[in-house]
Structure 1
Amino acid sequence: MRLTPLLLLSCLVPMSTAVFAAAPAPEIQRPVGTPQAIGAVHTLRAIPEACARLEGVFTGEAATPYKYTAVRTDPQCQPRARFVDYAKAQPSEAKGWKLNDVIRVPAAACPKQQAVVRVWRKPADNKPVLDGQGSARVYLEDAKKDAAAGKPLPAVTLYAAEMKVEGKGCAG
């Protein structure tokens, strides 16, 4: 039996869509970032509800060409979400996490190389209970009693991020 190109293509299309379907689409769609120079610290993304900002830098080192860190935005900020360690959280859709953002930043000295930061979000049902007047109220004495009784705190949205360098480095 001889396979025609059209028949061969019709067999490959379902397989390729199955491969691409495995990778979830991020909630936020963004273009590739501005190329960054070695040693230039840059903001990848702010997460205001977690009082955090993700910063990155190309190091110029072969072993670790890019580093990123979560930085607290303001000591006075009261977070409504938490940024957690990716390795400990091991986010996945099966665990209730959503791929929130994919940030791609090319190296200015080597555009074939990109830092790719994937930000995951685990939403929490932390909608406040409204009283008869339609307001959410937290009473200090009640909160103190709950804390003394060992009641768990309400769940908050969690964020985690992983970083990988993709593409080949340029010979220098």
Structure 2
Amino acid sequence: MLRPHMLFAALLAASIPAIASEPAPEIQRKPGAPQAVGAVHTLRVIPEACARLEGQFTGDAKMPYRFAAVRTSERCQARARLVDAAGAKASAANGWVLNDVIRVPSASCKAQQAVVRVWRKDVKNTPPKLDAQGRSRIYLKDGLDAARAGDIRPVPVYAAAMAVEGIACK
């Protein structure tokens, strides 16, 4: 029979190759403050996508953490899209960049934490040509004409994936 410390060591050893193969995120951060069961907390705000990532420990063994993307404001004009990482197949092999890894430990279960990985797929947009005054300007008529012609520039895309890591508590 495996003892708890041996089980923990086995789980840690099994997870080391997965962690080692993951690229370093662009944003380096420490794990967040432990969160209580039922407390809704903001994980990160992505202003370009007009979105806030928030989570909540549920206390349910089948679904220990609830994760959602919430619109920050109805009036916000998004300059990027936020999609599900599984549906977008976000990975370094597909041209995505690991932007952020957010770790939130559970206050009631020290061996468990929620991990949210935020991926970014950048696009190479060039700014508009400078006008006679040396400024980059976008005029509504020009933008509407370009949209009618089908010349719409791609926007950056963010993808978020959540996983619960560690040992489940009872």
* TM-score (normalised: structure 2): 0.83
Identity %: 59
Query: Which residue of structure 2 aligns with residue 170 of structure 1?
Result: 169
RMSD: 1.9
Greater CA drift, 35-44 or 88-97? 88-97
Query: Which residue of structure 2 aligns with residue 144 of structure 1?
Result: 144
- The separation in 2 between residues aligned to 1:20 and 1:58, in whole angstroms, is 23
* TM-score (normalised: structure 1): 0.82
Greater CA drift, 126-135 or 159-168? 126-135
SS at match of 1:124: coil
**Rg larger for:** 1
Q: 1:109-148 maps to which residues of 2 (within 5 A)?
A: 109-132=108-131, 133-148=133-148
Q: What runs of 5+ residues in structure 1 fail to find an aligned partner?
A: 1-17
Query: Which residue of structure 1 aligns with residue 99 of structure 2?
Result: 100
1:13-61: CA deviation from partner (whole Å, max 9, x where unpaired)? xxxxx97652200001101110001110000001111111100000111
Q: 1:128 to 1:30 in 2, by over 3 A?
A: same
- The separation in 1 between residues aligned to 2:83 and 2:107, in whole angstroms, is 30
Conserved 8 A contact 1:119-1:160: yes
Greater CA drift, 19-28 or 105-114? 19-28
Q: Which amino acid aligns with 2:165?
A: E
- The separation in 1 between residues aligned to 2:98 and 2:137, in whole angstroms, is 32
Conserved 8 A contact 2:128-2:138: no
In the TM superposition, residue 142 of structure 1 has moved relative to its aligned partner by: 2.2
In the TM superposition, residue 67 of structure 1 has moved relative to its aligned partner by: 1.1
- The separation in 1 between residues aligned to 2:18 and 2:147, in whole angstroms, is 48
Query: Which residue of structure 1 aligns with residue 74 of structure 2?
Result: 75
**Number of residue equivalences:** 154
- The separation in 2 between residues aligned to 1:120 and 1:114, in whole angstroms, is 19
- The separation in 2 between residues aligned to 1:65 and 1:118, in whole angstroms, is 17
Matched, 1:42 2:46: no
